[in-house]
Amino acid sequence: MVRKLAELTKIDGISGNEQGVREFIIQNLADKSLKFYNDSIGNLIVKGKSVGTSSLKVMVAAHMDEVGFMVNYITDDGKLKFSPVGGIDSRILIGQHVRVGRNKIPGVIGYKSIHLQDKSERKSAVKIKNLYIDIAAKDKENALEMVNTGDYVAFASEPVFFGENRIKAKALDDRAGCAVLMELLEEVWPFEFYACFTVQEEVGLRGALVAANRLKPDIGIVLEGTTCADVPKVKEHEVSTVMGKGPSLSFADRTSLADRELLEHFFRTAEKEKIPYQWKTTVSGGNDAGRIQTSGTGVKTLVVSVPCRYIHSPVSVLDLNDLENMLKLVSRGLHTLPGALGR
């Protein structure tokens, strides 16, 4: 799973441009006989193996897209102006190396050097509208030979294993969820099981909505990478999750409230099976559960996440034990679900 995760983070899949991730997942499905379906928005829906008598229909979702940028203007001197796709802290951008468009034209995000900044400029952050990507084009015409407006831009950041059991990469949110979901497809389920690799989560949870409308599941489990601010100078009640303490269960975030029955079943499973877990302690962020919960006539949902430091940046970090425990918890929780719900 770890190797798959590292490979997944190398792929550029900004919201609306997820095909690279989708193709990787299809090519790497362990069981080639699994049926899969690509819907019109780009979701990849894979029907898992199942035997058994439970009447439950379960949808497990992880989103394939990542935050990034789009080129929206090319200046006369050949610099690329850009706008963010998804939520990005503009303060992290100066000096980043990026890849532009289908041909992955290399570029860097520039800003005049500290020597040329006046006192107030040195103290203030730079807005995205004042930044640009430099691909070393001679002028606009030369730039247009390589790129065009509308091209997607991804951070150039390779996965690195470091410290004890840590990985740094871009797009851990939510390739981590994708990696876990790929593992779940290797199991045989006691109910109808659909793995939904969704699109456009970062721009408004759009893929999950249509996938849920199509499947009309009873249960929706969302696998996420979530905020983890257990770093110096952040107050204890603001940390959200703590790295290394296991996958997190959310009772609520900005888009959904967890189903109490599911929530209880999963944390009791964790306690019974001695799988480390934690509560996400801030009601913040939103994810596909928000759309799945209110789809059709309503779906019971639960969000299980792996804590992810420096999320939405090219140096996101997660703990590989947390990832393994997330797989364990979701797998055990799902297998015992029919008994717990009496279906």
Partner 1 sequence: MNTEALVRQLCEINAPVGYENLAAEKLKSLFEPLCDKAHVDTFFNVIGFKKGISENPGKIIITAHYDQIGMIVSGFEKGGFLRISSLGGVDTKALLAREVTIHGKEEVYGVIGAKPPHLLKESETNKNADINDLFVDTGYPDDVLKKKVSIGDPVTVIAPVTMLKNGCIAGKSLDNRAGVAALVLILRELQNVKHPNDIYVIATVQEETHLLGAVTSSYSLEPDLAVVIDVCHGDMPEADRAQCFPLNKGVPVSIGPAFHSEYTNDLLETAKRERIPVQRCIEPGNPGTEAWAIQVSRTGVPVVEVGIPLRYMHTTSELISLQDVENAAMLVARYVSGDIVRKVEGFI
Enzyme catalytic residues: 201
Of 72, 130, 149, 213, which one interacts with partner 1 (CB under 8 A)?
A: 130
Element (H, E) at 155: strand 152-155
Residue number with CB closer to partner 1 (284 or 336): 284
298 interacts with partner 1 by CB under 8 A? no
- Peptide bond just before 174 cis, omega within 30 deg: yes
Binding flag, residue 141, partner 1 (CB under 8 A): no
* Residue of 60, 71, 211, 229 interacting with partner 1 (CB under 8 A): 229
Which residue, 35 or 123, has its beta carbon nearer to partner 1? 123
Residues 18, 39, 195, 213: is their CA dihedral positive or negative? Answer: positive
Alpha helices in 258-300 (DSSP H): 260-273, 289-293
Q: Cα separation of 9 and 107, whole Å?
A: 19
- Under rule CB under 8 A, residue 136 binds partner 1: yes
Choose, by CB under 8 A, the member of 311, 323, 326, 330 that binds partner 1: 311
- In one-letter notation, the amino acid at residue 74 is I
Report if residue 6 touches partner 1, rule: CB under 8 A.
Answer: no
Q: Is residue 122 at the binding interface for partner 1, with CB under 8 A as the rule?
A: yes
The binder of partner 1 chosen from 110, 203, 273, 340 (CB under 8 A):
110
Q: Does 119 bind partner 1 (CB under 8 A)?
A: no
Which one of 31, 38, 72, 87 is in contact with partner 1 (CB under 8 A)? Answer: 87
In contact, 55 and 216? CB cutoff 8 Å: no
Binding characters for partner 1, 36-75, by CB under 8 A (x = yes): ---------------------------------------x
Using DSSP's 3-state secondary structure scheme, residue 114 falls into helix
CA 129 to chain centre: 26
Alpha carbon distance 128, 94 (integer Å): 10
- Report the distance separating Cα 112 and Cα 114, nearest Å: 7
Q: Work out whether 107 is an interface residue with partner 1 (CB under 8 A).
A: yes
Which class for 146: exposed (0-12), middle (13-18), buried (19 or more C-beta within 10 A)? middle
Which residues are near partner 1 by CB under 8 A? Answer: 75, 77, 79, 87-92, 94-97, 105-117, 122-126, 130, 132, 134-138, 142, 146, 156, 160, 162-166, 168, 227-234, 238, 240, 282, 284-285, 309-315, 317
